[in-house]
Amino acid sequence: MKVFVDSSVLIEFVKGNERAKEILNRLLELNAEVYINDIVFSEFVFHYLSLKSGSSPLTMKGKKEVGKYINERDPKEFIDQFRILDVNESIVGLTYDLIRKYGLLPNDAIILATCKFHEIEFLVSLDRDFEEVCRFEGVKFAFKAEDIKEDEEDRT
């Protein structure tokens, strides 16, 4: 089972959100192939810096303190659990289509386009903005751990 994990799940996991913990534990139980892309990586690290420092990344940048909050293992060890998919020209083309068709913001459109291009079965997010568009685009949407289910044919 191929599952794309949105930054909302990663960020909320670091904050201690129970739903995010349950989702990631469910993915481990199912031995799912878990993916992110560079957009999710960037969004996660941006918010991670805020959580660790207690100030905005832009404030830290101005004070030249960004490097203080990233070390060799943290959050790299966490991110290394996910396969990172590249955004390519085909995904960019799909992104424009999704923005026009559904009015998605660019990052959300890139995430959904990445799922479609790489034939990802599930998009897991704590952002319900994906719910309806995933259904229209043939990607299963999971908002909580119980939503992530293997198809009968996957178990045989």
pLDDT at 152: 55
The number of helices, as runs of H, and strands, as runs of E, in the chain is: 9, 5
Please name the residues in contact with 30: beta carbons below 8 A apart, sequence gap of 6 or more.
1, 148, 150
The residue-averaged pLDDT of 143-148 equals 96
**CA separation for the pair 135, 154 (Å, rounded):** 20
Q: Which domains does the chain have, with CATH numbers?
A: 2-150 (3.40.50.1010)
Distance CA 50, CA 44 (A): 10
pLDDT at 21: 97
Residue 155: predicted pLDDT: 45
**Average pLDDT of the chain, as a whole number:** 91
Q: What is the pTM of this model?
A: 0.90
Provide the token pair at 40: 């999710």
pLDDT digits (tens, 9 = 90+) for 23-50: 999 999 999 999 999 999 999 999 988 8
- pLDDT above 90: residue 72: no
Query: What's at 131, amino acid-wise?
Result: E
Question: What local confidence, expressed as pLDDT, does residue 156 receive?
Answer: 42
- In the predicted model, is pLDDT for residue 19 greater than 50? yes
3-state SS track over 72-116:
CCCCHHHHCCCEEECCCHHHHHHHHHHHHHHCCCHHHHHHHHHHH
Q: Is the pLDDT of residue 73 over 70?
A: no
Q: Is the dihedral of CA 101, 102, 106, 111 positive or negative?
A: negative
Q: Mean per-residue pLDDT for 56-60? A: 79
